[in-house]
Amino acid sequence: MHIKSIVLEGFKSYAQRTEVNGFDPLFNAITGLNGSGKSNILDSICFLLGISNLSQVRASNLQDLVYKNGQAGITKASVSITFDNSDKKQSPLGFEVHDEITVTRQVVIGGRNKYLINGVNANNTRVQDLFCSVGLNVNNPHFLIMQGRITKVLNMKPPEILSMIEEAAGTRMYEYKKIAAQKTIEKKEAKLKEIKTVIKFI
């Protein structure tokens, strides 16, 4: 699965509907003059993927992502990314029948924000499960290596590198889910034991 096109409308410096396409499946570079909106394209991808640390996209709240903070008559920011899903070996779980997947995220002045998958409303958990199933976790601290952090990464010790790779690969997320599931099972077993004890003395 790879990006086929990005559509921005009302997002940061992109007041009007703007479509960015022509992406390569393997490697892409965004070039342009200072102030031409290069960083905002990367910010839009992070926004759609569900970044929780808004300082990474140079914002303090979701309203900051709307063109001129909604002061220019535009009250909504919208980002849609269409993914090429023709390679079924890399398809997100449950989406194998789709050759394209379009995910949209919208935020309205006042804080309301929503997701859509192929035009259908979806909650944040559903969207994050989609991305995590193909190894995309924007809230992984190593998903983006910003300028200035490269030297720090190069100087990491082997255990730190292993931890970084686990986070980047998305396997750490499943470890957390496993621990949560084990705790639930333990609680259920304790409750079952308690019920059996009560029944025994009836």
Residue 79 to residue 40: CA distance in whole angstroms: 11
**How many structural domains does the chain have?**
1
> In the prediction, which pLDDT does 130 show?
94
Nearest to 82, CA basis, from 170, 154, 153, 8: 8
> In the prediction, which pLDDT does 70 show?
84
Please report, as a single letter, which amino acid is at residue 147. Answer: Q
Q: Is residue 41 part of a domain?
A: yes
Residue 173 to residue 91: CA distance in whole angstroms: 19
Query: What is the pLDDT tens value at each position of the chain, 202 positions in all?
Result: 999 999 999 999 999 999 999 999 999 999 999 989 999 999 999 999 998 888 888 888 888 999 998 888 899 999 999 999 999 998 998 899 999 999 999 999 887 899 999 999 999 999 999 998 888 877 776 677 766 677 888 888 998 888 877 776 667 667 778 888 999 999 999 999 988 888 887 7
CB neighbours of 118 closer than 8 A, spacing ≥ 6?
Answer: 98, 101, 102
Report which secondary-structure segment, H or E, holds 99.
none
Q: Is residue 156 part of a domain?
A: no
Residue 189 to residue 194: CA distance in whole angstroms: 9
> In the prediction, which pLDDT does 170 show?
64
Please report, as a single letter, which amino acid is at residue 92. Answer: P
Q: Is residue 15 part of a domain?
A: yes
Which residue matches tokens 């004890």? 197
Q: Is residue 101 part of a domain?
A: yes
Q: Is residue 186 part of a domain?
A: no
> In the prediction, which pLDDT does 28 show?
92
Q: Is residue 167 part of a domain?
A: no
Q: How confident is the model over 168-200, as pLDDT tens digits?
A: 666 766 777 888 899 999 999 999 998 888 888
> In the prediction, which pLDDT does 149 show?
73
DSSP 3-state of 21: strand
Q: Is residue 180 part of a domain?
A: no
Q: Is residue 163 part of a domain?
A: no
Residue 109 is part of which domain span? 1-138
CATH number at 33 reads 3.40.50.300
> In the prediction, which pLDDT does 33 show?
92
